[in-house]
Structure 1
Amino acid sequence: MVRLFIAVDLSSEVRSKVIAFRDAVSNSGADVKPVEDENLHITLRFLGEVRDDLLTELKHNLSNLSFNSFRMHVKGTGAFPSISSPRVIWVGVEEGEDQLRALHDAVEELVGKYGVSDEREFTPHITVARVRGRASVLGKLINQWRDFDFGWQTVDSVTLKKSTLTPRGPIYEDLLTIRLK
Protein backbone atom coordinates (compact mmCIF):
# COMPACT_ATOMS: atom_id res chain seq x y z
CA MET A 1 0.00 0.00 0.00
CA VAL A 2 1.13 3.49 -0.79
CA ARG A 3 -0.32 6.70 0.72
CA LEU A 4 -1.11 9.22 -2.05
CA PHE A 5 -2.52 12.65 -2.75
CA ILE A 6 -2.69 15.05 -5.70
CA ALA A 7 -1.53 18.62 -5.19
CA VAL A 8 -0.71 22.00 -6.64
CA ASP A 9 2.75 23.13 -5.55
CA LEU A 10 3.51 26.72 -4.61
CA SER A 11 5.84 29.12 -6.40
CA SER A 12 8.93 30.11 -4.40
CA GLU A 13 7.61 33.68 -4.04
CA VAL A 14 4.24 32.61 -2.62
CA ARG A 15 5.87 29.88 -0.50
CA SER A 16 8.24 32.37 1.19
CA LYS A 17 5.32 34.60 2.24
CA VAL A 18 3.29 31.60 3.46
CA ILE A 19 6.33 30.53 5.51
CA ALA A 20 6.40 33.97 7.18
CA PHE A 21 2.79 33.48 8.33
CA ARG A 22 3.45 29.87 9.35
CA ASP A 23 6.42 31.07 11.43
CA ALA A 24 4.24 33.70 13.12
CA VAL A 25 1.77 30.93 14.02
CA SER A 26 4.61 28.71 15.28
CA ASN A 27 6.05 31.52 17.42
CA SER A 28 2.68 32.59 18.87
CA GLY A 29 2.91 30.35 21.93
CA ALA A 30 0.02 28.17 20.74
CA ASP A 31 0.50 24.40 20.76
CA VAL A 32 0.72 23.74 17.01
CA LYS A 33 2.44 21.35 14.61
CA PRO A 34 3.67 23.51 11.72
CA VAL A 35 3.86 22.16 8.17
CA GLU A 36 7.46 21.90 6.93
CA ASP A 37 8.55 24.40 4.24
CA GLU A 38 8.86 21.75 1.53
CA ASN A 39 5.43 20.27 2.35
CA LEU A 40 3.36 23.43 1.79
CA HIS A 41 0.88 22.91 -1.09
CA ILE A 42 -2.80 22.89 -2.05
CA THR A 43 -4.29 19.40 -1.87
CA LEU A 44 -6.63 18.77 -4.79
CA ARG A 45 -7.48 15.21 -3.79
CA PHE A 46 -6.36 13.02 -0.89
CA LEU A 47 -6.42 9.37 -1.93
CA GLY A 48 -5.04 7.76 1.22
CA GLU A 49 -3.79 4.19 1.05
CA VAL A 50 -3.84 2.72 -2.46
CA ARG A 51 -2.72 -0.80 -3.39
CA ASP A 52 0.70 -0.86 -5.06
CA ASP A 53 -0.67 -2.82 -8.02
CA LEU A 54 -3.10 0.03 -8.83
CA LEU A 55 -0.41 2.72 -8.96
CA THR A 56 0.44 2.25 -12.67
CA GLU A 57 -3.24 2.38 -13.63
CA LEU A 58 -3.82 5.45 -11.45
CA LYS A 59 -0.83 7.25 -13.03
CA HIS A 60 -2.10 6.37 -16.50
CA ASN A 61 -5.57 7.72 -15.73
CA LEU A 62 -4.19 10.89 -14.18
CA SER A 63 -1.90 11.49 -17.17
CA ASN A 64 -5.10 11.97 -19.24
CA LEU A 65 -5.83 15.18 -17.34
CA SER A 66 -6.58 17.96 -19.80
CA PHE A 67 -6.88 21.39 -18.17
CA ASN A 68 -5.71 24.89 -19.00
CA SER A 69 -3.19 26.66 -16.79
CA PHE A 70 -4.50 29.68 -14.86
CA ARG A 71 -3.44 32.34 -12.36
CA MET A 72 -4.37 32.23 -8.71
CA HIS A 73 -4.15 34.91 -6.05
CA VAL A 74 -3.15 33.57 -2.64
CA LYS A 75 -4.63 35.88 -0.05
CA GLY A 76 -6.06 35.75 3.46
CA THR A 77 -5.92 33.40 6.42
CA GLY A 78 -8.37 31.40 8.47
CA ALA A 79 -8.97 28.23 10.44
CA PHE A 80 -11.06 25.06 10.26
CA PRO A 81 -13.57 24.52 11.71
CA SER A 82 -13.56 28.16 12.94
CA ILE A 83 -11.23 30.90 14.18
CA SER A 84 -12.70 30.60 17.69
CA SER A 85 -12.05 26.84 17.76
CA PRO A 86 -9.13 26.23 15.36
CA ARG A 87 -7.86 22.75 14.50
CA VAL A 88 -6.21 23.64 11.16
CA ILE A 89 -4.66 27.04 10.33
CA TRP A 90 -4.70 27.89 6.63
CA VAL A 91 -3.87 30.43 3.93
CA GLY A 92 -6.59 30.98 1.35
CA VAL A 93 -7.06 31.53 -2.36
CA GLU A 94 -8.93 34.67 -3.39
CA GLU A 95 -8.87 34.52 -7.19
CA GLY A 96 -8.53 31.27 -9.10
CA GLU A 97 -10.72 29.49 -6.58
CA ASP A 98 -13.30 28.56 -9.22
CA GLN A 99 -10.57 27.17 -11.49
CA LEU A 100 -9.14 25.15 -8.57
CA ARG A 101 -12.60 23.71 -7.92
CA ALA A 102 -12.96 22.80 -11.60
CA LEU A 103 -9.45 21.28 -11.56
CA HIS A 104 -10.41 19.29 -8.45
CA ASP A 105 -13.52 18.03 -10.26
CA ALA A 106 -11.47 17.05 -13.35
CA VAL A 107 -8.98 15.16 -11.15
CA GLU A 108 -11.87 13.52 -9.25
CA GLU A 109 -13.31 12.23 -12.52
CA LEU A 110 -10.02 10.54 -13.38
CA VAL A 111 -9.03 9.10 -9.98
CA GLY A 112 -12.18 9.16 -7.84
CA LYS A 113 -12.42 5.38 -7.74
CA TYR A 114 -9.01 5.04 -6.02
CA GLY A 115 -8.43 5.36 -2.30
CA VAL A 116 -10.84 6.92 0.16
CA SER A 117 -13.99 8.68 -1.02
CA ASP A 118 -13.90 12.47 -1.00
CA GLU A 119 -17.22 13.48 0.49
CA ARG A 120 -16.38 16.89 1.97
CA GLU A 121 -16.80 19.94 -0.21
CA PHE A 122 -13.48 20.97 -1.74
CA THR A 123 -12.17 24.21 -0.23
CA PRO A 124 -8.89 25.41 -1.80
CA HIS A 125 -6.39 26.26 0.95
CA ILE A 126 -2.80 25.80 2.11
CA THR A 127 -2.55 24.15 5.53
CA VAL A 128 0.22 25.85 7.53
CA ALA A 129 -0.27 24.25 10.97
CA ARG A 130 -2.39 21.81 12.92
CA VAL A 131 -3.50 22.83 16.40
CA ARG A 132 -2.65 20.30 19.10
CA GLY A 133 -3.76 22.09 22.24
CA ARG A 134 -3.91 25.62 23.63
CA ALA A 135 -4.90 28.01 20.87
CA SER A 136 -6.37 31.12 22.52
CA VAL A 137 -3.76 33.43 20.93
CA LEU A 138 -4.42 32.23 17.40
CA GLY A 139 -7.70 34.08 16.72
CA LYS A 140 -6.05 37.49 17.06
CA LEU A 141 -3.07 36.44 14.92
CA ILE A 142 -5.27 34.98 12.17
CA ASN A 143 -7.32 38.18 12.11
CA GLN A 144 -4.14 40.30 11.85
CA TRP A 145 -3.17 38.37 8.70
CA ARG A 146 -6.69 37.86 7.32
CA ASP A 147 -6.22 40.31 4.41
CA PHE A 148 -2.52 39.65 3.80
CA ASP A 149 -1.56 39.33 0.12
CA PHE A 150 0.67 36.28 -0.35
CA GLY A 151 0.95 36.91 -4.10
CA TRP A 152 -0.03 35.58 -7.50
CA GLN A 153 1.19 32.47 -9.23
CA THR A 154 0.44 30.48 -12.34
CA VAL A 155 -1.00 27.02 -11.77
CA ASP A 156 0.57 25.09 -14.65
CA SER A 157 0.89 21.59 -13.20
CA VAL A 158 -0.50 19.09 -10.71
CA THR A 159 1.56 16.47 -8.93
CA LEU A 160 0.80 12.98 -7.66
CA LYS A 161 2.63 12.68 -4.36
CA LYS A 162 3.51 9.78 -2.12
CA SER A 163 3.34 10.50 1.61
CA THR A 164 5.43 8.42 3.98
CA LEU A 165 4.47 8.98 7.60
CA THR A 166 7.35 9.20 10.08
CA PRO A 167 7.50 10.16 13.79
CA ARG A 168 8.95 13.54 12.74
CA GLY A 169 6.24 14.21 10.15
CA PRO A 170 5.37 13.15 6.63
CA ILE A 171 7.93 12.89 3.84
CA TYR A 172 6.56 13.66 0.38
CA GLU A 173 7.88 12.25 -2.88
CA ASP A 174 6.70 13.38 -6.31
CA LEU A 175 5.60 10.37 -8.39
CA LEU A 176 4.10 12.10 -11.44
CA THR A 177 3.77 15.71 -12.58
CA ILE A 178 1.14 16.58 -15.18
CA ARG A 179 1.64 19.84 -17.06
CA LEU A 180 -1.47 21.88 -17.76
CA LYS A 181 -2.03 23.48 -21.19
Structure 2
Amino acid sequence: MKQHYFIGIKIPEPIANEIVNERENTNVHETHKILPVADDLHITLFYLGHVEQNVLASIVQRLQDIQWEAFELTTSGLSHFGNEQTPRVVFTGVENSNPLVVLQQEIVQRLSQVIEITNVTSFIPHITIAKKWSSKNELHAKDFHLRKMRFEVSHFSIFQINNNRSPHYEEIEYIQSRRG
Protein backbone atom coordinates (compact mmCIF):
# COMPACT_ATOMS: atom_id res chain seq x y z
CA MET A 1 0.00 0.00 0.00
CA LYS A 2 1.33 3.42 -0.95
CA GLN A 3 2.12 5.94 1.78
CA HIS A 4 -0.31 8.90 2.03
CA TYR A 5 0.26 12.37 3.50
CA PHE A 6 -1.57 15.55 4.44
CA ILE A 7 -0.69 19.02 5.64
CA GLY A 8 -2.33 20.12 8.88
CA ILE A 9 -2.30 21.86 12.23
CA LYS A 10 -2.00 19.58 15.24
CA ILE A 11 -4.39 20.45 18.06
CA PRO A 12 -2.53 21.13 21.35
CA GLU A 13 -2.75 18.24 23.80
CA PRO A 14 -4.85 19.95 26.55
CA ILE A 15 -7.46 21.08 24.01
CA ALA A 16 -7.47 17.74 22.18
CA ASN A 17 -8.00 15.93 25.49
CA GLU A 18 -10.90 18.21 26.40
CA ILE A 19 -12.54 17.65 22.99
CA VAL A 20 -12.20 13.86 23.32
CA ASN A 21 -13.58 13.99 26.88
CA GLU A 22 -16.57 16.09 25.77
CA ARG A 23 -17.18 13.66 22.88
CA GLU A 24 -18.24 11.14 25.56
CA ASN A 25 -21.42 13.23 26.00
CA THR A 26 -22.56 12.07 22.55
CA ASN A 27 -23.35 8.64 21.15
CA VAL A 28 -20.74 8.76 18.35
CA HIS A 29 -19.09 5.66 19.80
CA GLU A 30 -22.30 3.85 18.72
CA THR A 31 -22.87 5.64 15.40
CA HIS A 32 -19.43 6.02 13.79
CA LYS A 33 -16.65 3.58 12.88
CA ILE A 34 -13.72 5.94 13.47
CA LEU A 35 -13.17 8.03 16.62
CA PRO A 36 -9.76 9.70 16.43
CA VAL A 37 -7.61 9.58 19.57
CA ALA A 38 -6.65 12.94 21.10
CA ASP A 39 -3.14 12.75 19.61
CA ASP A 40 -4.64 12.53 16.08
CA LEU A 41 -6.84 15.64 16.32
CA HIS A 42 -5.88 18.23 13.71
CA ILE A 43 -7.13 20.76 11.17
CA THR A 44 -6.41 19.59 7.62
CA LEU A 45 -4.97 22.33 5.44
CA PHE A 46 -4.52 20.11 2.37
CA TYR A 47 -4.75 16.37 1.72
CA LEU A 48 -1.82 15.27 -0.44
CA GLY A 49 -2.56 11.56 -0.81
CA HIS A 50 0.34 9.56 -2.22
CA VAL A 51 3.40 11.49 -3.36
CA GLU A 52 6.86 10.18 -4.19
CA GLN A 53 9.70 11.03 -1.78
CA ASN A 54 11.44 13.40 -4.21
CA VAL A 55 8.15 15.29 -4.72
CA LEU A 56 7.60 15.38 -0.97
CA ALA A 57 11.06 16.94 -0.54
CA SER A 58 10.13 19.65 -3.09
CA ILE A 59 6.85 20.28 -1.27
CA VAL A 60 8.67 20.70 2.04
CA GLN A 61 11.09 23.16 0.45
CA ARG A 62 8.24 25.26 -1.02
CA LEU A 63 6.29 25.25 2.24
CA GLN A 64 9.33 26.36 4.24
CA ASP A 65 9.53 29.44 2.00
CA ILE A 66 6.10 30.68 3.15
CA GLN A 67 6.43 33.81 5.28
CA TRP A 68 3.64 33.87 7.87
CA GLU A 69 3.01 35.10 11.38
CA ALA A 70 1.70 32.96 14.23
CA PHE A 71 -2.00 33.48 14.96
CA GLU A 72 -4.68 32.26 17.36
CA LEU A 73 -7.67 30.03 16.69
CA THR A 74 -10.77 29.53 18.83
CA THR A 75 -12.90 26.39 18.91
CA SER A 76 -16.59 26.90 18.14
CA GLY A 77 -18.81 23.99 19.12
CA LEU A 78 -20.06 20.96 17.26
CA SER A 79 -21.06 20.59 13.62
CA HIS A 80 -21.15 17.94 10.88
CA PHE A 81 -20.88 17.09 7.20
CA GLY A 82 -23.82 15.23 5.73
CA ASN A 83 -27.34 14.59 7.00
CA GLU A 84 -27.99 15.97 10.50
CA GLN A 85 -29.38 12.68 11.87
CA THR A 86 -26.78 10.48 10.13
CA PRO A 87 -23.72 12.69 9.47
CA ARG A 88 -20.71 11.11 7.77
CA VAL A 89 -18.36 13.40 9.78
CA VAL A 90 -18.88 15.04 13.19
CA PHE A 91 -16.47 17.84 14.07
CA THR A 92 -15.56 20.69 16.34
CA GLY A 93 -15.40 23.89 14.35
CA VAL A 94 -13.14 26.89 14.67
CA GLU A 95 -14.19 30.52 14.52
CA ASN A 96 -13.54 32.38 11.27
CA SER A 97 -9.87 33.30 10.97
CA ASN A 98 -8.51 35.35 8.10
CA PRO A 99 -4.87 34.37 8.90
CA LEU A 100 -5.86 30.68 8.70
CA VAL A 101 -7.59 31.14 5.33
CA VAL A 102 -4.64 33.13 3.94
CA LEU A 103 -2.18 30.45 5.15
CA GLN A 104 -4.24 27.66 3.58
CA GLN A 105 -4.47 29.55 0.27
CA GLU A 106 -0.71 30.17 0.30
CA ILE A 107 -0.10 26.47 0.92
CA VAL A 108 -2.30 25.52 -2.06
CA GLN A 109 -0.53 28.11 -4.23
CA ARG A 110 2.91 26.71 -3.27
CA LEU A 111 1.74 23.13 -3.81
CA SER A 112 0.49 24.02 -7.30
CA GLN A 113 4.10 24.80 -8.23
CA VAL A 114 5.06 21.19 -7.49
CA ILE A 115 1.98 18.99 -8.02
CA GLU A 116 -1.17 19.15 -10.09
CA ILE A 117 -4.08 20.33 -7.98
CA THR A 118 -7.38 19.23 -9.45
CA ASN A 119 -9.90 18.98 -6.62
CA VAL A 120 -9.91 22.42 -5.05
CA THR A 121 -12.87 22.46 -2.69
CA SER A 122 -13.93 25.21 -0.34
CA PHE A 123 -11.84 25.22 2.83
CA ILE A 124 -13.92 24.49 5.94
CA PRO A 125 -11.53 24.34 8.90
CA HIS A 126 -12.61 21.64 11.33
CA ILE A 127 -11.39 19.13 13.91
CA THR A 128 -12.89 15.71 13.13
CA ILE A 129 -14.10 13.86 16.24
CA ALA A 130 -15.98 11.02 14.49
CA LYS A 131 -16.28 9.73 10.92
CA LYS A 132 -17.71 6.90 8.83
CA TRP A 133 -21.36 6.51 9.81
CA SER A 134 -22.20 2.91 10.76
CA SER A 135 -25.51 2.82 12.57
CA LYS A 136 -29.26 2.55 12.22
CA ASN A 137 -29.70 4.94 15.17
CA GLU A 138 -29.61 8.74 14.96
CA LEU A 139 -26.81 10.87 16.31
CA HIS A 140 -27.45 12.35 19.76
CA ALA A 141 -25.11 15.27 20.49
CA LYS A 142 -27.27 17.78 22.35
CA ASP A 143 -25.20 17.23 25.52
CA PHE A 144 -21.93 18.19 23.78
CA HIS A 145 -20.97 21.50 25.43
CA LEU A 146 -17.39 22.35 24.60
CA ARG A 147 -16.28 25.67 25.99
CA LYS A 148 -14.54 28.03 23.58
CA MET A 149 -10.80 27.46 23.76
CA ARG A 150 -8.07 29.55 22.17
CA PHE A 151 -4.74 28.23 20.98
CA GLU A 152 -1.77 29.61 19.12
CA VAL A 153 -0.80 28.30 15.71
CA SER A 154 2.94 28.82 15.35
CA HIS A 155 3.62 25.90 13.02
CA PHE A 156 1.94 23.43 10.72
CA SER A 157 3.12 19.98 9.74
CA ILE A 158 3.22 17.35 7.06
CA PHE A 159 1.71 14.17 8.46
CA GLN A 160 2.26 10.62 7.30
CA ILE A 161 -0.84 8.44 7.62
CA ASN A 162 -0.19 5.11 9.38
CA ASN A 163 -3.49 3.20 9.36
CA ASN A 164 -1.95 0.16 11.05
CA ARG A 165 -1.18 1.90 14.35
CA SER A 166 -2.48 4.48 16.82
CA PRO A 167 -2.06 7.36 16.70
CA HIS A 168 -2.58 7.19 12.92
CA TYR A 169 -0.94 10.50 12.04
CA GLU A 170 2.80 11.02 12.39
CA GLU A 171 4.34 14.48 12.05
CA ILE A 172 7.26 14.06 9.63
CA GLU A 173 7.93 17.72 8.82
CA TYR A 174 7.38 20.86 10.86
CA ILE A 175 6.99 24.30 9.21
CA GLN A 176 7.49 27.14 11.68
CA SER A 177 5.98 30.63 11.46
CA ARG A 178 8.35 33.52 10.98
CA ARG A 179 9.55 35.08 14.22
CA GLY A 180 8.79 38.80 14.56
TM-score w.r.t. length of structure 2: 0.85
C-alpha displacement of 1:90: 0.4
Cα displacement string for residues 134-171 of structure 1 (whole angstroms, at most 9, x for unaligned residues): 16341x31x433x63241001111101111232x6673
Secondary structure, counterpart of 2:122 in structure 1: coil
Aligned to 2:48: 47
Q: Distance in 1 between matches of 2:99 and 2:157?
A: 16
Q: Percent identity?
A: 21
Bigger fraction of residues in helix: 1
Describe the shift of the 1:107–1:31 C-alpha distance in structure 2 as closer, same or farther (beyond 3 A).
closer
Residue in 2 that maps onto 1:109: 109
Report if the CA contact (8 A) 1:14-1:74 is conserved. Answer: no
Which residue type is aligned with residue 178 of structure 1?
A: I
For residues 38 and 135 of structure 1, do their structure 2 counterparts lie closer, same or farther at Cα, with a shift above 3 Å needed?
farther
Matched, 1:176 2:177: no
Q: Which residue of 2 aligns with 1:100?
A: 100
Consecutive unaligned residues in structure 1, runs of 5 or more:
none
What secondary structure sits across from 1:75 in the alignment?
A: strand
Shift in Å, 1:5:
0.6
Gap change, CA 1:135 and 1:76, over 3 Å in 2: farther
Q: Is this contact kept in 1: 2:19–2:146, CA < 8 A?
A: no
What letter matches 2:158 in structure 1?
L
Equivalent position of 1:88 in the other structure:
89
Instruction: Describe the SS at the equivalent of 1:16.
Output: helix
State the shift of 1:126 in Å: 0.3
Aligned residue-pair number: 176
Residue of structure 2 equivalent to 1:131:
132
**What is the TM-score normalised by the length of structure 1?**
0.85
5 Å-filtered alignment, 1:18-167, equals 18-25=19-26, 29-96=30-97, 98-112=98-112, 113-114=114-115, 117-134=118-135, 136-138=137-139, 140-141=140-141, 143-145=142-144, 148-166=146-164
| C-alpha distance in 1 between matches for 2:160 and 2:30 | 32
Alpha carbon RMSD of aligned pairs, Å?
Answer: 2.3
Contact 2:28 2:130 in 1 (8 A): no
Instruction: State the alpha-carbon separation in 1 of the partners of residues 124 and 136 from structure 2.
Output: 23
Preserved CA contact (<8 Å) 1:89 1:131: no
Unpaired segments of 5 or more residues in structure 2? none
